[in-house]
Amino acid sequence: MNLVSLLIFAILPSFLWLLYYFKKDIHPEPKRLILYVFIAGAVFAIIGYFFQKTASFFLLSIAEDNLQLLSFLPLLYTFVIVAFSEELLKYLAFFFTIKDHSELDEPVDIIIYMITAALGFAALENFIILFTISPTASELVQVSGIRFLSGTLLHVLASGILGGFLVYSYRLDKKYLAFVGLLTVSVMHGFYNLIAGKTEESILFFFALLFFFIIFALILSIFIKKAGKMKSICLLK
């Protein structure tokens, strides 16, 4: 499978979710800024990839001489090395690109740009997965579809909910809410990874995953609705 096909099917899940959430903004953001933040999310995904590889090697080398650490290694890897680092990196993609931009003038914009950064992150992640497994044409479509309804959607929900926390953090002038949001979505992400890894073992895990997505989709929907009703200017400076 050529690289162009891999790239198209890696971006497609993100593009479809971006179209959906882009329409949630009554006053759509400039497409050039959406592209800018999307690319930034992809760049930070590259950083995350190398960080996770390095951290995994480091932890394994330490755990070889520490059996107690070895027993906690899977949880440490899932919740900290993967979940927390990815949620932090997506936030940093938002922070370093758009946080102080004049176009960020409505509360709901924070959520939209956080989702955009997450979708760029997910697109690069999708590409790495597809490139690693070298799928056939049918597998390419299948994996892309699965990623649309799983990993890519997870990134949308997690970053969107963090965006909701950021809205209230700045609106209420309670900066700690940003950190609370980061921890919340990191735990959410970690539990997703644990459940998703067991869906083939039992149908119960599949329904648990479905319930997981429904609950957090509802939370994100509430955040978007509440932010959309906030009329005040929301510059994050």
Rounded alpha-carbon distances, angstroms, from residue 93 to 167, 173, 237: 17, 22, 16
Work out the burial of residue 144: count CB atoms within 10 Å of its CB; fewer than 13 is exposed, 13-18 middle, 19 or more buried. Answer: buried
How far, in Å, CA of 9 to CA of 102, rounded? 33
Give 161 or 65, the one with higher predicted confidence: 161
- Asked if 137 and 144 count as a contact pair (C-beta separation under 8 A), the reply is no
What are the φ and ψ backbone dihedral angles of 236, each rounded to 5 degrees? -95, 70
Instruction: Evaluate if pTM is beyond 0.75.
Output: yes
How does pLDDT run across 85-127, given as a tens digit for each residue? 999 999 999 999 998 888 888 899 999 999 999 999 999 999 9
pLDDT digits (tens, 9 = 90+) for 41-81: 999 999 999 999 999 888 878 777 776 666 788 888 999 99
pLDDT band at 231 (very low <50, low <70, confident <90, very high): low
Rg of the chain over Cα atoms, rounded to whole angstroms, equals 18
pLDDT at 232: 59
| Domain range list for the chain | 3-228
**Which residues are within 8 A (CB) of 12 and not within 5 positions of it... i.e. 6 or more apart?**
144, 148
In contact, 155 and 186? CB cutoff 8 Å: no
Structure tokens at 211: 């319930």
